[in-house]
Structure 1
Amino acid sequence: MNNEILRGYSQLYKESLLNNVVPFWEKYSPDQTYGGYYTCLDRTGKVYDTDKFVWLQGRQAWMFALLYQNVEPREEWLEISRIGIDFLKKYGSDQNGHFYFSLTREGRPLVQPYNIFSDCFAAMAFGKYGLVTGDTESTDRAVQIFSQILKRRANPKGKYNKVFPKTRDLKNFALPMILSNLCLELEPLLDSKLVEETIDNCIHEVMGDFLDDKTFLIYENRTLDNGFSDSFEGRLLNPGHAIEAMWFIMDIAKRRDDEELLERAVKVMLAQLEYGWDSEYGGIFYFLDVNGNPPQQLEWDQKLWWVHLETLIALAKGYQFTRNPRCWEWFEKVHSYTWEKFYDPTEGEWFGYLNRRGEVLLDLKGGKWKGCFHVPRALYQVWKTFDLCEDESN
């Protein structure tokens, strides 16, 4: 691929990040009265609900600290990160250090700490903010949270787990997938032996336990002995989850200079994409049943922002690391669909939810599940990845 094309894509993603997406969240999201961020924003940025979802608080605090560290040391970006960090320190967790799922605007608990991903993104936020500012309270907190996450791995929901035990015990793909990225995020703060052990475990689970070696598809749930469960949960595929995990694994493989793992991650990523692509309307399905049965999730055929943006990161990295032409062909195909359907040049930021035909289903810019994370992170990652591709070509 010639440098002019790479440079064009790099510039597009950079400009959209800095001139479209980041200004939207800067303007509408910070709560200057009570701290933290509003994430329930309509198309124009108007707040339509003031509840604060803890994992989205952590994600946004991390994002603005990253921008300050790696793009430009703008004090306003660091300040936005700080108000999220302070809010999490004051209100985010219970007396055991476990992070709630949601809070009122003022910081009063709404939903118990049943979801370990609140903890994962709080750890990311504290770690990044602490490393950027030298705030040892934040870095110490990040290490402490990470330790608690590892202790809860076998039963992440703890007493909030509603599954009846020993009837159909399953393990879920999401936590090892997240840990494969979180561990690298916190690596400067962690003991090197713990880092390597955690990475080894993540590779084993992500590329072994949940991966079908015959189809190269990744399952969302497996039995405790890594088998197939012929049930709604056991047949479930989430192409976006699996593809996102593959760029985490690619980063690990590059870090370890493991060419075999790198090539395997690219192969698995492409398998999910080819299986999950909607050949009739375009875009990637949200959920699928591996046997072709009706999925349990009624939203199975929706097209979601994060699925497509994470796919663009994975394809860009796959191309950078291997120069596999299929990565480039798919990148251009997914890029065209994503920018045509999700990008909002009028009001800023990106739409999150489309129906199967690619029409906007909800025109919100943020809510309970969509915050300041997947869009800016993807724009940043693709921008920087293609910059590196260009450098490597010179």
Structure 2
Amino acid sequence: MNNLLSFYRDQLQRNLLPFWLRALDRTRGGVYTCYNNEGTELLSTDKFTWSQGRFVWILSRLADLCERGVLDERSPGGQAAMYLEHAGKTVRFLMEHVFLKNGNCAYVLTETGEKKELIPGQGYDLSFYADCFVVLGLTEFARVAGDRDVLERALQLYGSIERRLQAGKIRSEPYPVPDGYVSQSFAMIMLNVSQELAEALERAGHPNGAGIRSRSLYYMNEIMDKFVDGDDLLAELLPIDGRDGDTLLARQIAPGHSIECMWFVMKEARKLGLSETAGKAARVAKKAFDIGWDPIYGGLYRYVDRGGGEPQGRMIGDRYEALICDTWDMKIWWPHSEALYTFLLSYDLTQDSQFLDLYSRMHDYAFRTFPHPDPAIGEWIQIRDRQGVPIQKTVALPVKDPYHIMRNVLLTIELLDEKASATSTNASD
């Protein structure tokens, strides 16, 4: 485990951080993300709110790990003051520019902060996911910086999101939910937002901490009770009419999304002392790996049928079907980074060695496939075909997103550092 801790610290400091530190907008705040897949060309200086909020989270957590000594202050990963300063600058950029008159967040801004319509005539607030990632960024910055005003702004935006969800007034680009279906991704993102906001509120002694924690439990239970079936499969979409259970939309499983969702559940279950729920979540993550792993080329398929293999089922003519059919066998970066952390966390919670075996298989595939071969560029070449060959394709936003890899590397470093510290303490005792 100590060797693995050193490995991840090295990946962060030598491969990931150098790329993203070059991408900072040091004048206005924020980060440039509209690169080609190889990371060699900046195609646009537009700032997608989704990625800006996520990067505030990354910078704030980096600062926190440096301050706690988990990352070495003398290394490129140890510049705590710089990380927090740029996180604050990005927070101010968002606070000044991202909010619309209705309180929602604009989906995309120009380099200088002007709001843009990504789809002409469709308005600025295309997706509540953007709002969610702003909440996550503001929350983590407020927690690390001890900024009560920013924490209150995050809480206000969270309330706005919940009201929209309850009223059914939600837009969710780039993945609009087809008519006649409900999506587990709504509960999934709200679980993550709620648990992080609750943590920050509780640490600050805020009176709303207990209420938001109860919302975390609500969303966790919705996922596990409503979307996980008796075969430990997590459905992406559930048809409102049971007769539509034969459709491709109802039958498709997203293995990487399932795995990511389950570490959210495991984290909350551990916080609340719900060991049975944590164990079930670990089983769901394993089932997602089993059904999603490509036995020929390795790696996780993007989508599979609930029976395994290529998605199938009755088509209804929705554009989400086209996305599934067009990209189902692609190997993209984020599911693999999510699986690396999830299987280590699963082992930590269950002590079941099968999760170390799954981790090992994923580690071997991910680190021989995704990291850029040119260390002068760094990062991962994120989007690949089934055989692992890089391709130029947009799979969500037209960005090289900084979130999943670094978030999971940071979470893994935290987890391994905790284990190393506990081992050292036990040895000295």
Deviations along 1:117-145, one digit per CA (max 9) or x if unpaired, are: 11111011111212222333311110001
Q: Which amino acid aligns with 2:17?
A: V
Report if the CA contact (8 A) 1:57-1:84 is conserved: yes
Higher mean C-alpha displacement, 296-305 vs 106-115 = 106-115
CA contact (8 A) 1:116 1:156 kept: no
What are the within-5 Å matches in structure 2 for residues 142-157 of structure 1? Answer: 142-154=154-166
Equivalent pairs, count = 385
Aligned to 2:139: 127
Q: Does 2:50 align with 1:55?
A: yes
What's the offset of the Cα at 1:61? 1.1
Matches within 5 A, 1:315-334: 315-334=343-362
User: Which residue of structure 2 aligns with residue 351 of structure 1?
Assistant: 381
1:58–1:124 contact (8 Å) kept in structure 2? yes
The reply to whether residue 293 of structure 1 matches residue 312 of structure 2 is yes
> What residue number does 2:97 align with?
91
Aligned residue number for residue 240 of structure 1:
256
In structure 1, what is the Cα distance between the partners aligned to 2:86 and 2:392? 27
> Are 1:55 and 1:122, in contact at CA under 8 Å, matched by a contact in 2?
yes
| Cross-structure match for 1:271 | 287
In 1: Cα distance, 2:412 partner to 2:140 partner: 20
- State the partner residue of 2:87: 81
Q: Who is 1:370 aligned against?
A: 400
CA-atom RMSD in angstroms: 2.7
CA separation of 1:45/1:82 partners in 2, compared to 1, >3 Å: closer, same or farther?
A: farther
What is the 5 A alignment of 1:1-394?
Answer: 6-27=1-22, 29-42=23-36, 43-44=38-39, 46-72=41-67, 74-111=80-117, 112-154=124-166, 158=170, 168-187=179-198, 188-189=200-201, 191-213=208-230, 215-224=231-240, 229-290=245-306, 292-293=311-312, 296=322, 297=324, 298-345=326-373, 346=375, 347-362=377-392, 368-393=398-423, 394=426
1:307 is displaced (CA, Å) by 0.4
Distance 1:221 1:280, change over 3 A: same
Name 1:3's counterpart in structure 2.
none
Structure 1: gaps spanning 5 or more residues? 1-5
Measured in 2, the distance between the counterparts of 1:373 and 1:258 equals 28
CA contact (8 A) 1:352 1:362 kept: no
For the 8 Å contact 2:305–2:312, the answer to whether it is kept is yes
Amino acid at match of 2:245: S
Question: Would the alpha carbon gap of residues 232 and 253 (structure 1) be closer, same or farther in structure 2, given more than 3 Å must change?
Answer: same
Gaps of 5+ in 2: 68-78, 118-123, 314-320
Distance 1:201 1:286 in 2: 28
Distance in 1 between the 2:116 and 2:151 partners?
27
Q: Percent identity?
A: 27
- Per the normalisation by structure 1, the TM-score is 0.90
Q: What amino acid is aligned across from residue 216 of structure 2 in structure 1? A: I
- Whole-Å separation in 2 of the counterparts to 1:392 and 1:162: 43
User: Deviations along 1:226-268, whole A, 9 cap, x unmatched?
Assistant: 8963323222211111100111111111111221111111111
Residue 307 to residue 352, structure 1, CA distance change in 2 (3 Å): same
Preserved CA contact (<8 Å) 1:116 1:157? no
Cα gap change, 1:353/1:164 in structure 2, threshold over 3 Å: closer, same or farther?
closer
- Which SS does the other structure have where 2:380 is aligned? coil
Report if the CA contact (8 A) 1:24-1:45 is conserved: no
Partners in 2 of 1:279 and 1:44 — Cα distance? 29
1:317 to partner: Cα distance: 0.2
